[in-house]
Amino acid sequence: MTSHHTGEMPAIRYNFAYLDEQTKRMIRRAILKAIAIPGYQVPFAAREMPMPYGWGTGGVQVTAAVLGPHDVLKVIDQGADDTTNAVAIRGFFEKTAGVATTTATAEATIIQTRHRIPETPLGEEQILVYQVPIPEPLRFLEPRETETRQLHALEEYGLMHVKLYEDIARHGHIATTYAYPVEVAGRYVMDPSPIPKFDNPKMDDCPALQLFGAGREKRIYAIPPHTRVRSLDFEDHPFAVQRFAKPCALCAASGVYLDEVILDDRGGRMFVCSDTDYCAGRQAQGHRGEMAAPAAGQALDVMPGLDPGIHGVPPVLPAQGVDGRDKPGHDGVSDRVGGAGGMP
Amino acid sequence: MTTQTATDDAPLLVAEGLGKNYGARIGCRDVSLEVFPGEVLAVVGESGSGKSTLLGLLSTELAAGAGRVSYRMRDGELRDLAGLGPAERRLLMRTDWGFVRQNPADGLRMAVSAGGNVGERLMAVGWRHYGNIREEATDWLGRVEIAADRIDDDPRAFSGGMRQRLQIARNLVTKPRLVFMDEPTGGLDVSVQARLLDLIRSLVAEMGLAVIIVTHDLAVARLLSHRMVVMRHGRVIETGLTDQVLDDPREPYTQLLVSSVLAA
């Protein structure tokens, strides 16, 4: 009798990197078009992915379409390699593509990112894939999709400056700190996804290919290598990135983007690198910040010295508004309404 | 004859045989008119007579079923508006034209501050200096009698009359040559209406604006316009100088219209 097989599930086999080849082909065509027209949002037939919208379905599809068996994949979420979104997506491709993964920026050939650009400069052989919640930079200024397309087609971007005007009128400076609009190759205005504006200058003349995938909105756009990317501003209120008063408390790096970490309920806090790989690398080289553990006998880890859960602490907005982060799984609407949001 | 008089004599906007049907119903039919620089033309008639349809056709917001509209560009050339590309037409609408709507919410961005509303057109034509934009917006708020300290308030905090004045400032900031107005004083109480009419009249004279104003209120037409066009059932039934039409109406319908208004 063969009844002992009853109830066993058949083995499930996925195609390499989950998506079927025809779907990948469709996505690659959209990517090629996006590269040919820098900053232009190319519609594509986004598939349902085994994860909820808002958790990187667009980025995952782009990564799946460009991934080869010899690629080395790195996935970051808010700069960290060890947060839920990063771990889940890295695990997804380990399982469905069997590719090598890494946390080291320099070793990766493809880096999928949510809301950060790594501190280590990228090279020509690398691709940076962004997860995009809302691709349309004019969305909260002009609700009609037909009209925003027309505005892009005719290069009418006065509206974008109305938003920046409102920022200055209300706050005395341009208060947009993330998803800060850029002009790509002197033509299209683009939403760089919710990266802190600190990272905007890294997009300009970047040697790596930058791809942006929005799964729910079904759009792909791209910045080809060595493309001019300019952050919008006013002549008398030029674009400026966030500055931090102190260097990283763990690796003493300055000129990098820092996360605020609350240490206790008595106002104790520290600022540490948001890029965990960069921070760990500097500590390995012997750099010590004011709150780092002593160097002797320290085991090297991906994570900086403290409890690995530190990046999971709910962010608290510092007074100077340097925090460009939003909350995982809430990439939809509520956290993106800026000063001029919800206009008719 | 100098060049200046030559351009003043030439019409700014010319409509020939304009018509539009809504299915089997007539929106307006066979309308021909000319508007000259600095001239205020009133389009009057009762509700449903085709006034707003005509305004939509003249401003190219509606597609004409028949006829054509030509406009004299700043270079002096008279061009058929249907032949303009969308980019050219939109540029014309936000620089050389203005459109003041009956409901200010349709013509303003209600969630954007007064300064932003006035500055939008400037930014759309390439102004990129915050200080200059703000200075210009402050100046225009003053000209429409809105206090400078309201510049950062949004129009939701404004009264109906203030909203309408803000809408006028927003339209005039690029120094247009032609402004369309659709019942600009509708829905305002009488004293506010009077002040608004005063303001429009002085701005029109000061800037040498050409205005096409749609109204059912003959008193508004009398106060503002030089010439008027009377519409009924989608057709123009009488045209002439405003005083002449109102004081000595020729058509029986116009006579009825005039006689049904108290002290127009």
Task: Identify the three-state secondary structure at position A171.
Answer: helix
- The whole-angstrom distance between B116's CA and the closest CA on chain A is 6
Q: What is the pLDDT of residue A4?
A: 54
Lowest mean pLDDT among A70-74, A116-120, A202-206, A297-301: A297-301
Instruction: Please identify every residue of A annotated as catalytic.
Output: 39, 248, 251, 273, 279
Please tell me which of the candidates B112, B131, B152 has its beta carbon nearest to residue A343: B112
Residues of chain A with Cβ-Cβ distance to B105 below 8 Å are: 344
Higher pLDDT, B157 or B262: B157
Q: What is the mean pLDDT of residues A49-54?
A: 92
Cα torsion through A205, A208, A209, A211, rounded to 10: -100
The Cα-based distances of A255 to A245, A248, B185 in angstroms read 10, 9, 58
Percent of chain B predicted with pLDDT > 70? 96
Tell me the residues of A at the B interface, defined by beta carbons under 8 Å apart: 150, 154, 156, 158-159, 161-162, 165-166, 168-170, 234-237, 340-344
A49 phi, psi to nearest 5 deg:
-115, 160
| Bridge pairing between strands A100-101 and A110-114 | unpaired
For residue range A256-265, what is the model confidence (pLDDT) as tens digits?
Answer: 999 999 999 9
Q: Looking up tokens 């004081």, which residue turns up? A: B247
Q: Are A117 and A195 in contact (CB under 8 A)?
A: yes
Candidates B61, B128, B151: best to mutate against A (most CBs of A within 10 A) is: B128
Whether residues B151 and A236 touch (CB distance < 8 A) is answered with no
Angle CA(A322)–CA(A328)–CA(A333) in degrees, nearest 5?
80
Q: How many CB atoms lie within 10 A of CB A329?
A: 12
What band does B262 get if pLDDT is binned at 50, 70 and 90? low
Angle CA(A155)–CA(A160)–CA(A165) in degrees, nearest 5?
140
Residues of chain B with Cβ-Cβ distance to A159 below 8 Å are: 120, 123-124
Task: Calculate the average pLDDT of chain B.
Answer: 91
What band does A317 get if pLDDT is binned at 50, 70 and 90? very low
Candidates A157, A161, A231, A239: best to mutate against B (most CBs of B within 10 A) is: A161
| Cα of A223 vs its chain's centroid, Å | 14
Whether residues A158 and B121 touch (CB distance < 8 A) is answered with yes
CA distance A139 to B48: 36
CA distance A190 to A169: 23
Q: What is the pLDDT of residue B186?
A: 83
* Torsion-angle region of B233 (φ positive above 0: left; ψ -120 to 50: alpha; else: beta): left
Q: What is the pLDDT of residue A7?
A: 64
Domains annotated on chain B, with CATH: 3-96+176-259 (3.40.50.300), 107-175 (no CATH)
Is pLDDT at B78 greater than 70 in this prediction? yes
CA distance A35 to A220: 10
Percent of chain B predicted with pLDDT > 90? 82
Q: What is the pLDDT of residue B6?
A: 42
Is pLDDT at A297 greater than 70 in this prediction? no
What band does A8 get if pLDDT is binned at 50, 70 and 90? confident
Whether residues A165 and B105 touch (CB distance < 8 A) is answered with no
Residues of chain A with Cβ-Cβ distance to B84 below 8 Å are: none
Q: Are B50 and B22 in contact (CB under 8 A)?
A: no
Q: What is the mean pLDDT of residues B129-143?
A: 96
- The whole-angstrom distance between A233's CA and the closest CA on chain B is 8
Cα separation of the two ends of chain A: 71
Which two three-digit tokens encode residue A290?
A: 């004011």
Please tell me which of the candidates A154, A169, A237 has its beta carbon nearest to residue B116: A169
- The whole-angstrom distance between A133's CA and the closest CA on chain B is 24
Q: Are B151 and B114 in contact (CB under 8 A)?
A: yes
Q: Any bridge partners for residue A131, and if so which?
A: A213
For residue range A278-292, what is the model confidence (pLDDT) as tens digits?
Answer: 999 999 999 999 988
Q: What is the mean pLDDT of residues A70-91?
A: 95
Per-residue exposure over B133-170, b if at least 16 CB sit within 10 Å of its own CB, e if not: bbebbbebbebbebeeebbeebbeebeebbbbbbbbbb
A234 phi, psi to nearest 5 deg:
-110, 155
CB within 8 A of A322, min separation 6: which ones?
A: A177, A196, A198, A242, A243, A244, A258
What band does A12 get if pLDDT is binned at 50, 70 and 90? confident
Residue (of A157, A115, A111, A166) closest to A136 by Cα position: A157
Residues of chain A with Cβ-Cβ distance to B61 below 8 Å are: none
Q: Sign (positive/negative) of CA torsion A52, A311, A119, A285?
A: negative
Lowest mean pLDDT among A42-46, A309-313, B121-125: A309-313
Residue (of A90, A107, A112) closest to A99 by Cα position: A90
Q: What is the pLDDT of residue A295?
A: 52
Is pLDDT at A327 greater than 70 in this prediction? no
Say yes or no: B129 contacts chain A, CB-CB below 8 A.
Answer: yes
Which two three-digit tokens encode residue A28?
A: 């690659």
Residues of chain B with Cβ-Cβ distance to A236 below 8 Å are: 129-131
Cα separation of the two ends of chain B: 39
| CATH of A21-231 given 2.60.120.40, 1.10.3720.10, 3.40.50.11310, 3.40.250.10 | 3.40.50.11310
Is pLDDT at A300 greater than 50 in this prediction? no
The Cα-based distances of B209 to A107, B71, B177 in angstroms read 66, 15, 5
For residue range A138-161, what is the model confidence (pLDDT) as tens digits?
Answer: 988 888 999 999 999 999 999 999
Q: What is the pLDDT of residue A133?
A: 95
Q: Are A24 and A62 in contact (CB under 8 A)?
A: no
CA distance B109 to B117: 6
Higher pLDDT, B11 or A141: B11
Closest residue of chain B to A165, computed from CA coordinates: B116
Q: What is the CA radius of gyration of chain B?
A: 19
What band does A6 get if pLDDT is binned at 50, 70 and 90? low
Is pLDDT at B19 greater than 50 in this prediction? yes
Q: Looking up tokens 């990266």, which residue turns up? A: A195
Domain ranges, ordered by start, for chain A: 21-231, 242-327
Q: What is the pLDDT of residue B188?
A: 85
Is pLDDT at A332 greater than 80 in this prediction? no
